[in-house]
Structure 1
Amino acid sequence: MTKGIIFKITLFLSSYPMLSQEGSTATFENSSNQLKVLSYNIHHANPPMHKDSIDLSAIIQVIKDSDADLVALQEIDSDTQRSGSGNQAQKIGDALGMQVFFGKSIDFQNGAYGVAILSRFPIIASKVYKLPSKPETQGEPRVLALSLIQLPDAQTIWFASTHLDSQKEDTNRILQIAELLNITTNLNQPVLVAGDFNAVANSPVIASLDSVFTRTCSSCPPTIPVENPSKAIDFIAFKPKSFFRLNNHRVIDEHYASDHLPVFANFQW
Protein backbone atom coordinates (compact mmCIF):
# COMPACT_ATOMS: atom_id res chain seq x y z
CA MET A 1 0.00 0.00 0.00
CA THR A 2 1.46 3.40 -0.93
CA LYS A 3 2.14 6.17 1.57
CA GLY A 4 -0.48 8.31 -0.19
CA ILE A 5 -3.22 5.75 0.38
CA ILE A 6 -2.15 5.24 4.02
CA PHE A 7 -2.33 9.00 4.55
CA LYS A 8 -5.83 9.25 3.04
CA ILE A 9 -7.12 6.39 5.17
CA THR A 10 -5.57 7.86 8.33
CA LEU A 11 -7.10 11.25 7.55
CA PHE A 12 -10.55 9.66 7.05
CA LEU A 13 -10.34 7.68 10.30
CA SER A 14 -9.29 10.73 12.27
CA SER A 15 -12.06 12.90 10.80
CA TYR A 16 -15.15 10.70 11.23
CA PRO A 17 -16.60 8.33 13.84
CA MET A 18 -16.59 4.79 12.50
CA LEU A 19 -19.41 2.30 12.49
CA SER A 20 -18.70 -1.41 12.66
CA GLN A 21 -18.28 -3.51 9.55
CA GLU A 22 -18.32 -7.28 9.16
CA GLY A 23 -17.50 -9.78 6.47
CA SER A 24 -14.76 -11.54 4.59
CA THR A 25 -11.38 -9.86 4.30
CA ALA A 26 -10.32 -11.76 1.18
CA THR A 27 -9.15 -9.86 -1.88
CA PHE A 28 -10.15 -10.74 -5.44
CA GLU A 29 -8.18 -10.79 -8.68
CA ASN A 30 -9.57 -8.52 -11.40
CA SER A 31 -6.90 -8.20 -14.08
CA SER A 32 -9.21 -6.55 -16.60
CA ASN A 33 -10.01 -3.61 -14.32
CA GLN A 34 -13.67 -4.51 -14.70
CA LEU A 35 -16.15 -3.29 -12.09
CA LYS A 36 -19.71 -4.67 -11.93
CA VAL A 37 -22.21 -2.67 -9.87
CA LEU A 38 -25.73 -3.57 -8.78
CA SER A 39 -28.39 -1.44 -7.10
CA TYR A 40 -31.33 -3.32 -5.59
CA ASN A 41 -34.25 -2.29 -3.40
CA ILE A 42 -35.02 -5.72 -1.94
CA HIS A 43 -38.31 -4.86 -0.14
CA HIS A 44 -36.97 -6.61 3.00
CA ALA A 45 -36.87 -9.83 0.94
CA ASN A 46 -40.66 -9.95 0.77
CA PRO A 47 -41.86 -11.22 -2.63
CA PRO A 48 -44.82 -9.02 -3.67
CA MET A 49 -46.97 -12.01 -4.58
CA HIS A 50 -46.53 -13.47 -1.08
CA LYS A 51 -47.45 -10.67 1.29
CA ASP A 52 -46.31 -12.15 4.59
CA SER A 53 -43.35 -14.26 3.48
CA ILE A 54 -39.59 -13.64 3.53
CA ASP A 55 -37.45 -15.25 0.83
CA LEU A 56 -33.88 -14.08 1.31
CA SER A 57 -32.59 -16.96 -0.80
CA ALA A 58 -34.27 -15.43 -3.86
CA ILE A 59 -32.47 -12.12 -3.29
CA ILE A 60 -29.17 -13.93 -2.81
CA GLN A 61 -29.66 -15.77 -6.09
CA VAL A 62 -30.37 -12.57 -8.01
CA ILE A 63 -27.17 -10.97 -6.71
CA LYS A 64 -25.16 -14.14 -7.30
CA ASP A 65 -26.40 -14.38 -10.89
CA SER A 66 -25.45 -10.75 -11.53
CA ASP A 67 -21.84 -11.48 -10.48
CA ALA A 68 -21.65 -7.93 -9.10
CA ASP A 69 -18.52 -6.67 -7.35
CA LEU A 70 -20.30 -3.84 -5.53
CA VAL A 71 -23.95 -3.89 -4.44
CA ALA A 72 -26.07 -1.05 -3.06
CA LEU A 73 -29.06 -2.46 -1.17
CA GLN A 74 -32.13 -0.64 0.13
CA GLU A 75 -34.98 -1.64 2.48
CA ILE A 76 -32.88 -3.92 4.66
CA ASP A 77 -34.24 -5.37 7.90
CA SER A 78 -32.09 -6.20 10.90
CA ASP A 79 -33.59 -8.24 13.76
CA THR A 80 -37.17 -7.18 13.05
CA GLN A 81 -40.38 -9.01 13.88
CA ARG A 82 -41.46 -9.34 10.26
CA SER A 83 -38.11 -10.67 8.95
CA GLY A 84 -36.74 -12.56 11.93
CA SER A 85 -33.36 -12.56 13.63
CA GLY A 86 -30.17 -11.32 12.05
CA ASN A 87 -29.20 -8.57 9.66
CA GLN A 88 -30.41 -9.32 6.14
CA ALA A 89 -27.43 -7.62 4.49
CA GLN A 90 -24.99 -9.61 6.60
CA LYS A 91 -26.76 -12.85 5.73
CA ILE A 92 -26.59 -12.00 2.03
CA GLY A 93 -22.93 -11.02 2.30
CA ASP A 94 -22.04 -14.19 4.19
CA ALA A 95 -23.76 -16.32 1.57
CA LEU A 96 -21.85 -14.60 -1.23
CA GLY A 97 -18.50 -14.14 0.48
CA MET A 98 -18.76 -10.35 0.35
CA GLN A 99 -17.90 -7.67 2.87
CA VAL A 100 -20.86 -5.83 4.38
CA PHE A 101 -21.66 -2.40 5.72
CA PHE A 102 -25.15 -1.66 7.06
CA GLY A 103 -26.48 1.86 7.50
CA LYS A 104 -29.44 2.17 9.86
CA SER A 105 -32.14 4.64 8.85
CA ILE A 106 -34.63 3.97 11.65
CA ASP A 107 -35.37 1.77 14.62
CA PHE A 108 -38.09 -0.65 13.54
CA GLN A 109 -39.98 -3.50 15.23
CA ASN A 110 -37.39 -3.90 18.01
CA GLY A 111 -34.66 -3.93 15.39
CA ALA A 112 -33.43 -1.67 12.59
CA TYR A 113 -34.17 -0.82 8.97
CA GLY A 114 -31.95 0.87 6.42
CA VAL A 115 -29.55 0.53 3.51
CA ALA A 116 -26.40 -1.50 2.95
CA ILE A 117 -23.26 -1.96 0.89
CA LEU A 118 -21.78 -5.28 -0.22
CA SER A 119 -18.28 -5.51 -1.69
CA ARG A 120 -16.04 -8.22 -3.13
CA PHE A 121 -13.14 -5.89 -2.42
CA PRO A 122 -11.85 -4.68 0.97
CA ILE A 123 -13.96 -2.05 2.70
CA ILE A 124 -11.40 0.26 4.29
CA ALA A 125 -13.74 2.62 6.12
CA SER A 126 -17.45 3.46 6.29
CA LYS A 127 -19.83 6.07 7.62
CA VAL A 128 -23.58 6.71 7.73
CA TYR A 129 -24.81 10.24 7.04
CA LYS A 130 -28.29 11.35 8.05
CA LEU A 131 -30.17 13.10 5.25
CA PRO A 132 -32.42 16.08 6.05
CA SER A 133 -36.17 16.44 5.83
CA LYS A 134 -38.65 19.10 6.87
CA PRO A 135 -40.21 18.16 10.24
CA GLU A 136 -43.68 19.24 9.16
CA THR A 137 -43.69 16.60 6.40
CA GLN A 138 -43.23 13.81 8.97
CA GLY A 139 -41.06 12.02 6.43
CA GLU A 140 -39.32 8.78 7.37
CA PRO A 141 -35.65 9.44 8.21
CA ARG A 142 -33.26 8.62 5.36
CA VAL A 143 -29.50 8.09 5.19
CA LEU A 144 -26.51 7.80 2.89
CA ALA A 145 -24.17 4.87 3.57
CA LEU A 146 -20.67 5.57 2.27
CA SER A 147 -17.72 3.16 2.09
CA LEU A 148 -14.15 3.53 0.92
CA ILE A 149 -13.37 0.55 -1.32
CA GLN A 150 -9.90 -0.69 -2.24
CA LEU A 151 -9.83 -2.04 -5.78
CA PRO A 152 -7.36 -4.78 -6.79
CA ASP A 153 -4.71 -2.36 -8.12
CA ALA A 154 -4.73 -0.44 -4.78
CA GLN A 155 -6.85 2.32 -6.31
CA THR A 156 -9.53 3.47 -3.86
CA ILE A 157 -13.04 4.67 -4.66
CA TRP A 158 -16.06 5.73 -2.67
CA PHE A 159 -19.25 3.72 -3.01
CA ALA A 160 -22.58 4.96 -1.64
CA SER A 161 -26.04 3.47 -1.16
CA THR A 162 -29.11 5.58 -0.49
CA HIS A 163 -32.92 5.56 -0.45
CA LEU A 164 -34.53 8.97 -0.71
CA ASP A 165 -37.91 10.06 0.68
CA SER A 166 -40.94 8.32 -0.83
CA GLN A 167 -43.58 11.00 -0.30
CA LYS A 168 -45.43 12.33 -3.32
CA GLU A 169 -43.94 15.82 -3.16
CA ASP A 170 -40.24 16.42 -3.88
CA THR A 171 -39.80 18.58 -0.77
CA ASN A 172 -37.59 16.21 1.23
CA ARG A 173 -35.92 14.60 -1.77
CA ILE A 174 -34.66 18.01 -2.93
CA LEU A 175 -33.09 18.58 0.50
CA GLN A 176 -31.66 15.08 0.54
CA ILE A 177 -30.08 15.17 -2.91
CA ALA A 178 -28.52 18.53 -2.06
CA GLU A 179 -26.99 17.01 1.08
CA LEU A 180 -25.78 13.97 -0.88
CA LEU A 181 -23.99 16.28 -3.31
CA ASN A 182 -22.56 18.28 -0.43
CA ILE A 183 -21.23 15.12 1.26
CA THR A 184 -19.55 13.88 -1.90
CA THR A 185 -18.27 17.19 -3.26
CA ASN A 186 -14.90 17.20 -1.49
CA LEU A 187 -14.06 13.51 -1.74
CA ASN A 188 -10.70 13.14 -3.45
CA GLN A 189 -11.27 9.67 -4.89
CA PRO A 190 -13.74 8.66 -7.63
CA VAL A 191 -17.32 8.18 -6.43
CA LEU A 192 -20.12 5.77 -7.31
CA VAL A 193 -23.57 6.36 -5.84
CA ALA A 194 -26.50 4.00 -6.29
CA GLY A 195 -29.95 3.54 -4.88
CA ASP A 196 -33.66 4.17 -4.94
CA PHE A 197 -34.07 7.91 -5.54
CA ASN A 198 -37.88 7.82 -5.66
CA ALA A 199 -37.66 10.32 -8.50
CA VAL A 200 -37.71 10.05 -12.27
CA ALA A 201 -35.39 11.51 -14.88
CA ASN A 202 -36.06 15.21 -15.62
CA SER A 203 -37.42 15.75 -12.09
CA PRO A 204 -35.68 18.46 -10.01
CA VAL A 205 -34.12 15.72 -7.87
CA ILE A 206 -32.49 13.84 -10.72
CA ALA A 207 -31.59 17.10 -12.47
CA SER A 208 -29.58 17.99 -9.36
CA LEU A 209 -27.90 14.57 -9.39
CA ASP A 210 -27.09 14.99 -13.10
CA SER A 211 -25.50 18.37 -12.47
CA VAL A 212 -22.60 16.65 -10.69
CA PHE A 213 -22.74 12.93 -11.48
CA THR A 214 -23.17 10.98 -14.70
CA ARG A 215 -25.91 8.37 -14.61
CA THR A 216 -25.29 5.03 -16.30
CA CYS A 217 -28.37 5.52 -18.46
CA SER A 218 -30.03 8.45 -20.20
CA SER A 219 -33.21 6.81 -21.49
CA CYS A 220 -33.41 4.50 -18.51
CA PRO A 221 -35.45 1.28 -18.62
CA PRO A 222 -38.20 1.27 -15.96
CA THR A 223 -37.60 -0.35 -12.57
CA ILE A 224 -41.06 -0.23 -10.95
CA PRO A 225 -43.63 -1.64 -10.50
CA VAL A 226 -42.16 -5.10 -10.80
CA GLU A 227 -45.06 -6.22 -13.00
CA ASN A 228 -45.44 -4.09 -16.11
CA PRO A 229 -42.81 -1.55 -14.96
CA SER A 230 -43.53 2.00 -16.11
CA LYS A 231 -40.91 4.30 -14.58
CA ALA A 232 -37.26 4.34 -13.56
CA ILE A 233 -36.43 5.55 -10.06
CA ASP A 234 -33.42 3.31 -9.28
CA PHE A 235 -30.12 4.64 -10.60
CA ILE A 236 -26.35 4.24 -10.58
CA ALA A 237 -24.23 7.36 -11.08
CA PHE A 238 -20.52 8.15 -11.09
CA LYS A 239 -17.85 10.84 -11.17
CA PRO A 240 -15.46 11.74 -12.68
CA LYS A 241 -16.01 10.64 -16.26
CA SER A 242 -12.25 10.40 -16.71
CA PHE A 243 -11.99 7.47 -14.25
CA PHE A 244 -14.99 5.30 -15.12
CA ARG A 245 -15.61 3.90 -18.59
CA LEU A 246 -19.17 2.61 -18.80
CA ASN A 247 -19.54 -0.61 -20.77
CA ASN A 248 -23.26 -1.19 -20.32
CA HIS A 249 -26.36 -0.52 -18.21
CA ARG A 250 -29.30 -2.85 -17.90
CA VAL A 251 -32.31 -3.59 -15.73
CA ILE A 252 -32.41 -7.24 -14.68
CA ASP A 253 -35.63 -8.99 -15.62
CA GLU A 254 -36.46 -10.53 -12.22
CA HIS A 255 -40.11 -10.30 -11.18
CA TYR A 256 -40.41 -12.49 -8.10
CA ALA A 257 -37.98 -11.50 -5.35
CA SER A 258 -38.79 -7.81 -4.80
CA ASP A 259 -41.15 -5.01 -5.83
CA HIS A 260 -38.25 -3.30 -7.66
CA LEU A 261 -36.20 -4.58 -10.58
CA PRO A 262 -32.45 -4.55 -9.92
CA VAL A 263 -30.20 -2.18 -11.89
CA PHE A 264 -26.80 -3.31 -13.17
CA ALA A 265 -23.86 -1.42 -14.69
CA ASN A 266 -20.51 -2.71 -15.94
CA PHE A 267 -17.47 -0.39 -15.89
CA GLN A 268 -13.77 -0.43 -16.52
CA TRP A 269 -11.48 1.93 -14.67
Structure 2
Amino acid sequence: MLLKSGTWNIASGLGPDLPALAGLIQQQGLDLIGLQEVDRQTRRCPHAVAEELADYLGWQVFFAPIFPLMGGEYGLALLSRWPLQARRVIHYRAKGAEPRILQMAQLRLAPGIELTVVNTHLSFETPALRQQQMRQLQQELAPVIGCQQPLLITGDFNTDQRVTEWADFKGPWQLTNGAAGQWQATFQDDDPAMRTRAIDNILFANGPRLQRWQVETTPLSDHAMLRAEFQLG
Protein backbone atom coordinates (compact mmCIF):
# COMPACT_ATOMS: atom_id res chain seq x y z
CA MET A 1 0.00 0.00 0.00
CA LEU A 2 1.01 3.62 -0.51
CA LEU A 3 1.32 5.78 2.62
CA LYS A 4 1.44 9.56 2.27
CA SER A 5 3.04 11.14 5.32
CA GLY A 6 4.23 14.54 6.42
CA THR A 7 6.03 16.48 9.11
CA TRP A 8 5.41 20.12 9.90
CA ASN A 9 6.43 22.58 12.60
CA ILE A 10 3.30 24.73 12.68
CA ALA A 11 4.67 27.47 14.99
CA SER A 12 1.57 27.88 17.14
CA GLY A 13 3.12 30.98 18.67
CA LEU A 14 2.47 32.78 15.39
CA GLY A 15 -1.29 32.30 15.76
CA PRO A 16 -2.03 29.59 13.17
CA ASP A 17 -4.99 29.70 10.79
CA LEU A 18 -6.46 26.29 11.62
CA PRO A 19 -8.81 25.93 8.61
CA ALA A 20 -5.90 26.87 6.33
CA LEU A 21 -3.57 24.36 8.04
CA ALA A 22 -6.17 21.61 7.68
CA GLY A 23 -6.77 22.64 4.08
CA LEU A 24 -3.10 22.27 3.18
CA ILE A 25 -2.95 18.83 4.81
CA GLN A 26 -6.02 17.80 2.79
CA GLN A 27 -4.62 19.34 -0.39
CA GLN A 28 -1.46 17.26 -0.01
CA GLY A 29 -3.55 14.09 0.27
CA LEU A 30 -1.80 12.98 3.45
CA ASP A 31 -2.71 9.96 5.57
CA LEU A 32 -0.49 10.80 8.54
CA ILE A 33 1.36 13.84 9.85
CA GLY A 34 3.59 14.71 12.79
CA LEU A 35 3.26 18.27 14.08
CA GLN A 36 5.67 20.24 16.25
CA GLU A 37 5.19 23.45 18.27
CA VAL A 38 1.56 22.70 19.01
CA ASP A 39 -0.33 24.83 21.56
CA ARG A 40 -3.34 23.76 23.55
CA GLN A 41 -5.43 26.57 25.04
CA THR A 42 -2.59 29.04 25.66
CA ARG A 43 -3.07 32.78 25.92
CA ARG A 44 -1.12 33.31 22.69
CA CYS A 45 -3.16 30.64 20.86
CA PRO A 46 -6.45 29.93 22.65
CA HIS A 47 -7.27 26.77 20.71
CA ALA A 48 -6.82 23.04 21.24
CA VAL A 49 -4.86 23.12 17.99
CA ALA A 50 -4.28 19.39 17.46
CA GLU A 51 -7.82 18.38 18.39
CA GLU A 52 -9.38 21.09 16.24
CA LEU A 53 -7.26 20.11 13.25
CA ALA A 54 -8.29 16.48 13.75
CA ASP A 55 -11.93 17.58 13.81
CA TYR A 56 -11.50 19.48 10.54
CA LEU A 57 -9.90 16.42 8.94
CA GLY A 58 -12.05 13.73 10.54
CA TRP A 59 -8.85 12.04 11.78
CA GLN A 60 -7.49 10.52 14.96
CA VAL A 61 -5.21 12.64 17.19
CA PHE A 62 -2.55 12.05 19.83
CA PHE A 63 -1.41 15.25 21.56
CA ALA A 64 1.62 14.92 23.85
CA PRO A 65 2.25 17.92 26.16
CA ILE A 66 5.87 18.87 26.83
CA PHE A 67 5.42 21.65 29.39
CA PRO A 68 2.81 24.13 30.69
CA LEU A 69 2.72 27.40 28.77
CA MET A 70 0.71 30.62 29.20
CA GLY A 71 -2.19 28.98 30.99
CA GLY A 72 -2.24 25.97 28.69
CA GLU A 73 0.13 23.39 27.24
CA TYR A 74 2.79 23.18 24.52
CA GLY A 75 3.71 19.94 22.81
CA LEU A 76 3.71 17.58 19.86
CA ALA A 77 0.87 15.92 17.96
CA LEU A 78 0.35 12.97 15.66
CA LEU A 79 -2.69 13.03 13.37
CA SER A 80 -3.71 9.97 11.39
CA ARG A 81 -6.53 8.46 9.35
CA TRP A 82 -6.12 5.31 11.48
CA PRO A 83 -6.43 4.86 15.25
CA LEU A 84 -3.21 5.67 17.11
CA GLN A 85 -2.73 2.76 19.48
CA ALA A 86 -0.21 1.78 22.19
CA ARG A 87 0.62 5.45 22.81
CA ARG A 88 3.79 6.36 24.66
CA VAL A 89 5.62 9.56 25.60
CA ILE A 90 9.34 9.45 26.43
CA HIS A 91 11.34 12.37 27.84
CA TYR A 92 14.89 12.95 26.67
CA ARG A 93 17.37 12.87 29.53
CA ALA A 94 19.53 15.53 27.85
CA LYS A 95 17.81 18.90 27.57
CA GLY A 96 18.64 22.53 26.99
CA ALA A 97 16.47 25.55 27.73
CA GLU A 98 13.34 23.42 27.31
CA PRO A 99 12.53 19.77 27.98
CA ARG A 100 12.09 17.64 24.87
CA ILE A 101 10.12 14.46 24.20
CA LEU A 102 9.29 11.87 21.61
CA GLN A 103 5.83 10.42 21.15
CA MET A 104 5.18 6.96 19.75
CA ALA A 105 2.12 5.05 18.53
CA GLN A 106 1.15 1.96 16.54
CA LEU A 107 -0.98 2.01 13.39
CA ARG A 108 -2.72 -0.95 11.77
CA LEU A 109 -2.92 0.22 8.16
CA ALA A 110 -4.34 -2.96 6.65
CA PRO A 111 -4.43 -6.68 7.49
CA GLY A 112 -0.84 -7.72 7.97
CA ILE A 113 0.53 -4.16 7.67
CA GLU A 114 1.40 -2.42 10.93
CA LEU A 115 3.56 0.64 11.46
CA THR A 116 5.27 2.26 14.43
CA VAL A 117 5.24 6.04 14.08
CA VAL A 118 7.29 8.45 16.17
CA ASN A 119 7.22 12.25 16.31
CA THR A 120 9.87 14.44 17.95
CA HIS A 121 11.42 17.90 18.21
CA LEU A 122 15.05 18.09 19.25
CA SER A 123 16.81 20.93 21.08
CA PHE A 124 18.14 23.94 19.19
CA GLU A 125 21.18 24.80 21.32
CA THR A 126 24.13 22.66 20.15
CA PRO A 127 24.97 19.67 17.94
CA ALA A 128 26.40 17.91 21.00
CA LEU A 129 23.06 18.14 22.82
CA ARG A 130 21.17 16.91 19.77
CA GLN A 131 23.61 14.03 19.43
CA GLN A 132 22.74 12.85 22.95
CA GLN A 133 19.04 13.04 22.10
CA MET A 134 19.52 11.21 18.80
CA ARG A 135 21.34 8.41 20.60
CA GLN A 136 18.57 8.06 23.17
CA LEU A 137 16.00 8.08 20.38
CA GLN A 138 17.75 5.13 18.73
CA GLN A 139 18.08 3.31 22.05
CA GLU A 140 14.37 3.70 22.75
CA LEU A 141 13.53 2.34 19.30
CA ALA A 142 15.99 -0.55 19.36
CA PRO A 143 13.23 -3.06 20.28
CA VAL A 144 11.18 -1.93 17.27
CA ILE A 145 14.20 -2.26 15.01
CA GLY A 146 14.98 -5.66 16.48
CA CYS A 147 11.53 -7.09 15.75
CA GLN A 148 11.57 -5.70 12.20
CA GLN A 149 8.48 -3.55 12.73
CA PRO A 150 8.15 -0.94 9.94
CA LEU A 151 8.96 2.47 11.42
CA LEU A 152 8.67 6.17 10.54
CA ILE A 153 10.01 9.12 12.57
CA THR A 154 8.66 12.59 11.79
CA GLY A 155 10.23 15.64 13.34
CA ASP A 156 11.97 18.96 13.55
CA PHE A 157 15.51 17.84 14.38
CA ASN A 158 17.00 21.38 14.51
CA THR A 159 20.15 20.16 12.71
CA ASP A 160 21.02 23.71 11.75
CA GLN A 161 24.82 23.65 11.82
CA ARG A 162 25.76 20.93 9.34
CA VAL A 163 24.15 18.02 7.51
CA THR A 164 26.76 15.68 9.01
CA GLU A 165 24.71 15.84 12.24
CA TRP A 166 22.68 13.05 10.64
CA ALA A 167 25.69 10.71 10.58
CA ASP A 168 24.63 9.16 13.91
CA PHE A 169 21.69 7.50 12.17
CA LYS A 170 23.42 4.42 10.79
CA GLY A 171 22.50 0.83 10.08
CA PRO A 172 18.82 0.47 9.16
CA TRP A 173 17.99 4.18 9.22
CA GLN A 174 17.27 6.09 6.02
CA LEU A 175 16.54 9.78 5.51
CA THR A 176 13.89 11.45 3.38
CA ASN A 177 15.41 14.95 3.39
CA GLY A 178 18.95 14.15 2.29
CA ALA A 179 18.04 11.06 0.30
CA ALA A 180 20.68 10.46 -2.40
CA GLY A 181 22.50 13.53 -1.05
CA GLN A 182 19.67 15.89 -1.97
CA TRP A 183 18.90 18.40 0.78
CA GLN A 184 16.10 20.95 0.82
CA ALA A 185 15.61 23.82 3.25
CA THR A 186 12.52 23.53 5.44
CA PHE A 187 13.06 26.52 7.76
CA GLN A 188 11.78 29.56 5.87
CA ASP A 189 12.85 32.56 7.97
CA ASP A 190 16.23 34.28 8.06
CA ASP A 191 18.50 33.25 10.91
CA PRO A 192 22.20 34.16 10.55
CA ALA A 193 23.17 31.53 13.15
CA MET A 194 21.94 28.73 10.90
CA ARG A 195 24.38 27.13 8.47
CA THR A 196 21.77 24.84 6.95
CA ARG A 197 17.98 25.12 6.99
CA ALA A 198 17.35 21.45 6.12
CA ILE A 199 16.20 20.67 9.66
CA ASP A 200 12.89 18.82 9.23
CA ASN A 201 12.90 15.18 8.22
CA ILE A 202 11.11 11.84 8.04
CA LEU A 203 13.32 8.88 8.94
CA PHE A 204 12.32 5.33 8.09
CA ALA A 205 13.47 1.77 8.67
CA ASN A 206 12.39 -1.87 8.41
CA GLY A 207 10.58 -1.94 5.13
CA PRO A 208 9.01 1.37 4.00
CA ARG A 209 10.29 2.23 0.51
CA LEU A 210 10.54 5.93 -0.30
CA GLN A 211 8.79 6.69 -3.59
CA ARG A 212 8.95 10.48 -3.73
CA TRP A 213 9.26 13.50 -1.48
CA GLN A 214 8.91 17.26 -1.66
CA VAL A 215 9.01 20.39 0.46
CA GLU A 216 5.83 22.45 0.38
CA THR A 217 6.59 26.10 1.12
CA THR A 218 3.77 28.00 2.81
CA PRO A 219 3.11 31.34 4.55
CA LEU A 220 1.23 29.46 7.31
CA SER A 221 4.36 28.81 9.42
CA ASP A 222 8.06 29.64 9.57
CA HIS A 223 8.65 26.02 8.48
CA ALA A 224 7.71 24.37 5.22
CA MET A 225 5.86 21.06 5.24
CA LEU A 226 7.93 18.02 4.29
CA ARG A 227 5.82 15.44 2.44
CA ALA A 228 6.85 11.88 1.55
CA GLU A 229 5.22 8.83 0.00
CA PHE A 230 6.20 5.32 1.05
CA GLN A 231 5.31 1.91 -0.28
CA LEU A 232 4.62 -0.65 2.45
CA GLY A 233 3.95 -4.37 2.23
Shift of the alpha carbon at 1:103? Answer: 1.1
TM-score (norm 2): 0.89
Greater Cα radius of gyration, structure 1 or 2? 1
Query: Does 2:182 align with 1:224?
Result: no
Aligned: 1:81 with 2:81? no
What's the CA shift for 1:153?
A: 2.6
Residue deviations 1:2-56 (CA, integer Å, cap 9, x gap): xxxxxxxxxxxxxxxxxxxxxxxxxxxxxxx11001000000172xxxxxx4422
Partner of 1:12: none
2:231 counterpart residue number: 268
Q: Which residue of 1 aligns with 2:203?
A: 237
Quote the offset at 1:171 in angstroms: 2.8
- The one-letter amino acid of 2:88's match is K
1:193-245 CA distance string (max 9 Å, x none): 011000056333x11124541012231211112579962100001002xx212
* Residue in structure 1 matched with residue 78 of structure 2 by the alignment: 117
Q: Report if the CA contact (8 A) 2:120-2:154 is conserved.
A: yes
Q: Secondary structure at the match of 1:260?
A: coil
Q: Corresponding residue for 1:171?
A: 128
Do structure 1's residue 131 and structure 2's residue 92 form an aligned pair?
yes
- 2:157 equivalent to 1:197: yes
Superposition deviation, residue 89 in structure 1: 0.7
- Distance of 1:212 and 1:130 partners within structure 2: 23
1:108 counterpart residue number: 69
Counterpart selection for 1:160 from 115, 118, 128: 118
Q: Any unmatched runs of 5+ in structure 1?
A: 1-32, 47-52
Paired position in structure 2 for 1:250: 214
**Letter aligned with residue 209 of structure 2:** R
Identity across the alignment (%): 32
Cα offsets for 1:47-85 (capped at 9, x unmatched):
xxxxxx442222111111111111010000011111004
Q: Are 1:45 and 1:55, in contact at CA under 8 Å, matched by a contact in 2? A: no
- Whole-Å separation in 2 of the counterparts to 1:116 and 1:101: 5
- CA offsets, 1:136-192, max 9 Å, x none? xx421000010111112342110011000011x223211111111011111131110
Task: Decide whether the 8 Å contact of 1:71 with 1:118 is kept in 2.
Answer: yes
Aligned residues: 222
CA RMSD of aligned residues (A): 2.0
| Contact 2:39–2:74, Cα closer than 8 Å, also in 1 | yes
Q: Is the 8 A contact 2:10 2:36 kept in 1?
A: yes
Structure-to-structure mapping, 1:13-92, within 5 angstroms: 33-44=1-12, 46=14, 53-85=15-47, 87-92=48-53
1:83-115, Cα deviation, whole Å (9 max, x unpaired): 004x21111111101100011111111211011
Q: What is the TM-score when the length of structure 1 is the normalising length? A: 0.77
**Which of 193, 208, 216 is residue 168 of structure 2 equivalent to?**
208
Aligned amino acid, residue 195 of structure 1:
G
Q: 1:98 aligns with which of 59, 71, 76?
A: 59
1:24: which partner in 2? none
Q: Retained in 1: the 8 A contact 2:151–2:208?
A: no
Contact 2:16 2:221 in 1 (8 A): no
Say if 2:38 and 2:49, in contact at 8 Å, map to a contact too: yes
